[in-house]
Amino acid sequence: MTANKTSLHPQNPFAAPYPLTELVKLQPALAAFLKTTPDGRQTLNFAEPEAVTLLNTALLQWQFGVAHYQIPSGYLCPAVPGRLDYLLYLQDLLTQSHQGKKVPASAVQLLDIGCGANLIYALLAAKALRWQAIGSDIDARALQNAASLIEQNGLQRQLSLRQQSNPQAIFHGVIQPGDYLDLTLCNPPFHDSPDAAAAGSARKQRNLGLESSAPLNFAGQANELWCEGGEPAFLRRMLAESKDFAHQVYWFSTLVSKQQHLPKLQQQLQQLGATQVQVITMAQGNKQSRILAWSFLTPELAALWQQHRWRRR
């Protein structure tokens, strides 16, 4: 694990300050949300949900030519740079697993657990990395919007969707017989109750110096924000269920919000028989996060996977 990171992945194009003038040209409505800091710099009012949505739309259009990006009101509006970082570190993980050789983009199949209405990981996987991706979610309305994003951006050949009909399941009902996935990823629900989610929003409001009635850019549906037992309980279920698909996935992965959750998760993976476990740290300014990645493949099965999936293209 690398400690004390303060910046995005070296290949992340959003590491430098945003070119707001150029972004406003792509999304003119952004101009209404520009403000000047006390030291004279131009920035955005990040407390406004519309401003953040417009910014994400402009960033996706600027770097990756994503022409259409809309999210229904009330659904989670993610920050694009941090989501791309997760994918870039997973790409590094594949390269490391392939003896330092980059895996052909056309060979990579990704599964996003909980893709949401924003479909951000799958969109970035397709446009930035040229991967194939499957998005899954329990929310039918979210999947309707995700399907619209796929169609409007002409990504039907790269992206597909699967609805999880069982809210207690994670991989069961989504991974099908005959599926072979190089990567799974997940940004799990953080809180353990609606009250905890509301308290978290209140803390963010205070940090931004907002009144409690002010709108927030960190919206989200209940399933995006909380689950019974919070993140630790969700991740314990994910790890246990992943064992049932040990030979159908090369690398499972998830974000883990708190460092103190890792030891028990690593112990659980050891008990489940994981052959490889890695923790990858990420950072964006003062915000720290980490990816937990694990595999059940033996060296022999990993070699066969590489030979039949990664070297034939």
Q: Is residue 231 situated within a structural domain?
A: yes
Would strands 42-44 and 109-113 be described as parallel, antiparallel, or unpaired? unpaired
What is the predicted pLDDT for the residue at 215? Answer: 40
- Can you tell me the distance from the alpha carbon of 208 to that of 205, in angstroms, rounded to the nearest whole number? 5
What residue ranges in the chain does DSSP mark as E strands? 34-36, 42-44, 109-113, 132-137, 159-163, 181-186, 249-256, 276-284, 287-295
Yes or no: say if 205 and 214 are a contact pair by the CB < 8 Å rule. yes
What count of other Cβ atoms lies within 10 Å of the Cβ of residue 190?
19
**Number of domains present in the structure of the chain:** 1
Q: Is residue 276 situated within a structural domain?
A: yes
| Bridge partner list, 184 | 111
- Can you tell me the distance from the alpha carbon of 219 to that of 5, in angstroms, rounded to the nearest whole number? 27
Q: Is residue 127 situated within a structural domain?
A: yes
Q: Which amino acid is at 167?
A: P
What is the predicted pLDDT for the residue at 199? Answer: 41
Q: Which residues contact 228 (CB under 8 A, 6 or more apart)?
A: 192, 193
What is the predicted pLDDT for the residue at 202? Answer: 42
> Residue 98's domain is classified under what CATH number?
3.40.50.150
- Can you tell me the distance from the alpha carbon of 257 to that of 222, in angstroms, rounded to the nearest whole number? 18
What is the predicted pLDDT for the residue at 253? Answer: 98
Q: Is residue 111 situated within a structural domain?
A: yes
Would strands 249-256 and 181-186 be described as parallel, antiparallel, or unpaired? parallel
Domain of 116 in residue numbering reads as 74-310
Q: Is residue 300 situated within a structural domain?
A: yes
Identify the three-state secondary structure at position 205: helix
Q: What is the pLDDT along the chain (313 residues), one digit of tens a residue?
A: 344 566 899 999 998 889 999 999 999 999 999 999 899 888 998 888 889 889 999 999 999 999 899 999 888 888 899 999 999 999 999 999 999 999 999 999 999 999 999 999 999 999 999 999 999 999 999 999 999 999 999 999 999 999 999 999 999 999 999 999 999 999 998 534 454 444 444 444 444 444 444 444 444 444 444 456 689 999 999 999 999 999 999 999 999 998 999 999 999 999 999 999 999 999 877 778 999 999 999 999 999 999 999 985 5
Q: Is residue 36 situated within a structural domain?
A: no
pTM given for the model? 0.88
Q: Is residue 25 situated within a structural domain?
A: no
What is the predicted pLDDT for the residue at 2? Answer: 41
Q: Is residue 21 situated within a structural domain?
A: no
What is the predicted pLDDT for the residue at 228? Answer: 67
DSSP string, 68-94: -----TTS----HHHHHHHHHHHHHHH
